[in-house]
């Protein structure tokens, strides 16, 4: 069958997927697109994506694409299944929901860290440009080495005002501050902060190991085979390459809003305004997650067929 033997099949499908996402972004209203594409696994598009991820688990066991001994094939299938389960957990935001249930005093219902509860592990000199923080420190009792808490109303470059909590102390006549943690707890800061409970750190570390650790081990083990297959124009390896490219796209478009915002590239920022740049990133991040699942299924099927063809040639 030419379709599954041609190495060009996956790259063509990949670029077709990119063009479809580009067309969707071009025709949809930004606010409507974001509302239908991104809401912690509860939007129509995310709900439509989940079955494709769920299908990977039985698919990799029924059509096991890994060569070698039975033990090796079983281990790789098990690793793939765990990574897929963790991907579904991430897509549906169940990891944040679990932390909120276990540590409600530190994690909000939305999965963000409570303000003023946990702080970064390093104290830094209070910057003069942070006038509000400097003024708040000036009102405190100048007790050397005593740790105190201050709340400061800060306005970002977009004109959005927010309350930021700092932990401050006076050392050698200079005020030092440690900023409070915010956002998702599933970042390295969740492991390095001394304020994070040990049990909470263990859950964050377990998440990293089961998701990124197992994926990294599998990637390193299969990388030499994949690289050889790419240069040999093997269809399975090119499908896996497009799977990886889709994953890179997810990471890029997940971080791109923060990069653009830092460079003032997203325009006005408020809860009511969704810019074209924001909807572009959302469209390609969520669309790339669907492409990951589709290319994973394609890679498994092509790998299984290649193994079956190899066995037929040996017995012929």
User: What's the whole-number mean pLDDT along residues 13-28?
Assistant: 96
Do both 72 and 155 map to the same domain? no
Counting the structural domains of the chain, the total is: 2
β pairing state of 124-125 and 148-155: unpaired
pLDDT for 268 equals 46
User: For residue range 59-117, what is the model confidence (pLDDT) as tens digits?
Assistant: 999 999 998 899 999 999 999 999 999 988 888 888 889 999 999 999 998 888 888 88
User: For residue range 261-271, what is the model confidence (pLDDT) as tens digits?
Assistant: 666 555 544 44
| Backbone angles phi and psi of 218, in degrees to 5 | -65, -40
Do both 303 and 163 map to the same domain? no
User: For residue range 254-263, what is the model confidence (pLDDT) as tens digits?
Assistant: 888 877 766 6
Domain contains 194: yes
Helices 44-62 + 30-37 axis angle, to 10: 40
User: For residue range 190-206, what is the model confidence (pLDDT) as tens digits?
Assistant: 888 888 999 999 999 99
Do both 211 and 283 map to the same domain? yes
CA dihedral angle for residue 52, residue 57, residue 60, residue 66, rounded to 10 degrees: 120
Buried b (16+ CB within 10 A) or exposed e, 203-242: bbeebbebbebbbeebeeeeeeebeebeeeebbbbbbbbb
Last residue of a domain, one of 113, 147, 179: 179
49-58, 97-106, 145-154: least confident range? 145-154
How far, in Å, CA of 75 to CA of 54, rounded?
19
Do both 29 and 136 map to the same domain? no
Do both 151 and 11 map to the same domain? no
Q: What is the mean pLDDT of the chain?
A: 86
Domain contains 255: yes
User: What confidence category does residue 12 fall into, taking pLDDT thresholds of 50, 70 and 90?
Assistant: very high
pLDDT for 144 equals 78
Domain contains 110: no
Percent with pLDDT over 90 in the chain: 49
How far, in Å, CA of 149 to CA of 18, rounded?
49
Do both 99 and 238 map to the same domain? yes
Secondary structure of 144-164 in the HEC alphabet? ECCCEEEEEEEECCCCCEEEE
How far, in Å, CA of 274 to CA of 73, rounded?
46
Closest CA to 53 of 302, 293, 299: 293
pLDDT for 263 equals 61
Domain that holds residue 147: 124-179
User: What confidence category does residue 272 fall into, taking pLDDT thresholds of 50, 70 and 90?
Assistant: low
How far, in Å, CA of 241 to CA of 247, rounded?
10
Domain contains 167: yes
User: What's the whole-number mean pLDDT along residues 44-67?
Assistant: 94
Do both 166 and 195 map to the same domain? no
Do both 134 and 240 map to the same domain? no
pLDDT for 262 equals 64
Q: 314 or 184: whose pLDDT is higher?
A: 184
Last residue of a domain, one of 132, 161, 179: 179
């Amino acid at each position: 069958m030419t379709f599954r033997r041609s190495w060009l099949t996956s790259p063509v499908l990949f670029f077709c997927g990119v063009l479809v996402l580009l067309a969707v972004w071009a025709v949809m209203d930004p606010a409507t697109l974001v509302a239908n594409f991104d809401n912690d696994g509860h939007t129509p598009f995310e709900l439509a994506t989940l079955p494709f991820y769920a299908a990977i688990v039985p698919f990799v066991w029924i059509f096991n694409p890994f060569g070698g001994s039975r033990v090796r094939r079983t281990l790789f299938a098990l690793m793939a299944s765990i990574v897929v389960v963790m991907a579904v957990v991430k897509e549906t935001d169940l990891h944040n929901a679990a932390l909120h249930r276990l540590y409600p005093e530190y994690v909000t219902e939305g999965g963000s860290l409570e303000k003023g509860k946990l702080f970064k592990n390093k104290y830094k000199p209070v910057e003069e440009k942070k006038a509000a923080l400097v003024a708040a420190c000036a009102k405190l009792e100048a007790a050397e080495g005593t740790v105190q808490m201050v709340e400061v109303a800060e306005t970002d470059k977009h004109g959005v005002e927010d309350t930021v909590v700092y932990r401050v102390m006076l050392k050698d006549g200079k005020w030092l501050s440690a900023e409070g943690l915010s956002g998702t707890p599933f970042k390295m800061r969740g492991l390095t902060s001394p304020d994070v409970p040990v049990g909470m750190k263990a859950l964050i570390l377990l998440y990293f190991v089961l998701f990124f650790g197992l994926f990294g081990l599998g990637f390193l083990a299969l990388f030499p085979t994949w690289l050889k297959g790419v240069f040999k124009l093997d269809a399975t390896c090119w499908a896996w390459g497009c799977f990886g490219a889709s994953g890179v796209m997810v990471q890029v478009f997940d971080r791109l809003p923060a990069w653009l915002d830092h460079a003032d590239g997203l325009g006005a920022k408020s809860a009511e305004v969704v810019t074209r740049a924001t909807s572009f990133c959302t469209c390609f991040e969520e669309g790339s997650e669907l492409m990951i699942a589709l290319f994973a299924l394609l890679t498994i099927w092509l790998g299984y067929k290649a193994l079956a063809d190899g066995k037929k040639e040996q017995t012929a």
